[in-house]
């Protein structure tokens, strides 16, 4: 039997809610997922609360929508200029546990930066990637029917101002940083291209198993969007 492929899709800039619902729909019917997938995209501005999210960590959201998500973790921000990599992966097929997957996502970013002679680190008990006490990348996952979904967010060149409106990942005073501030003048698309081989390596995917799909749209995957899917839904932390 041939090894499963890793399908890599690029979706551009999308609202959070329809992407989240598309991932949920896929993992709800795992028998239809013959291969694993990575979705690279950016989101329009949104704060998301994880399952353990506490609304007091949303100190001043202002006009930015807030979505109570089903991922792990506390509160974070997504917006243009940030690379989001969502991983829809059969953990058993890849011989991965949750902790190993989180470690692998961190290591992929650490290795990416290491290739440019920049030393990044992980913090025990605080998933993500850090430099000089500032957070560059956030990780939040959910496992359902043996599949992971949600994933990784890396600040590339976007506005970091919204992070000052929250306690990022539940840590008061934690500052964010971005690749641009590290002297890496990459676009979001270039960052995705550079990050992909490191992610694939952590998933145990040989280069020949990677299939690049730049044509499929989110609508092709999940069908027509429901009436609310073009906007973010503002809900409470218990929603």
Q: What are phi and psi of 191, to 5 degrees?
A: -60, -40
Catalytic residue from among 22, 137, 169, 176:
169
Q: Is 205 a catalytic residue?
A: no
Cβ contact 34:7 at 8 Å: no
Cβ contact 162:81 at 8 Å: no
Kindly list the strands in the beta sheet with 126-131, ordered across the sheet, starting from the edge strand earlier in the chain: 121-123, 126-131, 134-144, 147-155, 82-90, 36-43, 6-14, 210-213
How many Å separate Cα 230 from the centre of its chain?
Answer: 20
C-alpha distances out from residue 239 to 160, 213, 236, Å: 27, 34, 5
Catalytic residues: 169
């Amino acid at each position: 039997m041939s090894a499963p492929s890793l399908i890599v899709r690029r979706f551009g800039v999308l609202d959070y809610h329809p992407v989240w619902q598309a991932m949920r729909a896929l993992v709800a019917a795992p028998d239809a997922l013959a291969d694993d997938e990575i979705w690279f995209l950016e989101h329009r501005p949104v704060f998301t609360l994880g399952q353990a999210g506490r609304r007091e960590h949303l100190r001043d959201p202002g006009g930015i929508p807030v979505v109570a998500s089903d991922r792990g973790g506390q509160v974070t921000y997504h917006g243009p200029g940030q690379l989001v990599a969502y991983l829809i992966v059969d953990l058993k097929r890849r011989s991965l546990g949750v902790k190993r997957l989180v470690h692998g996502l961190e290591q992929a970013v650490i290795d990416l930066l290491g290739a440019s002679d920049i030393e990044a680190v992980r913090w025990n008990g605080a998933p993500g990637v850090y430099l000089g006490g500032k957070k560059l990348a956030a990780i939040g996952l959910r496992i359902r029917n043996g599949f992971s979904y949600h994933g990784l967010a890396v600040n590339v060149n976007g506005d970091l101002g919204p992070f000052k409106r929250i306690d990022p990942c539940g840590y008061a005073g934690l500052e964010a940083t971005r690749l641009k501030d590290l002297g890496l003048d990459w676009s979001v698309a270039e960052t995705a291209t550079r990050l992909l081989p490191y992610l694939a390596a952590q998933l145990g995917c040989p280069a020949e198993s990677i299939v690049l799909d730049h044509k499929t749209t989110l609508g092709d995957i999940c069908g027509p969007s429901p009436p609310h899917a073009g906007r973010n839904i503002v809900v409470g932390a218990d929603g």
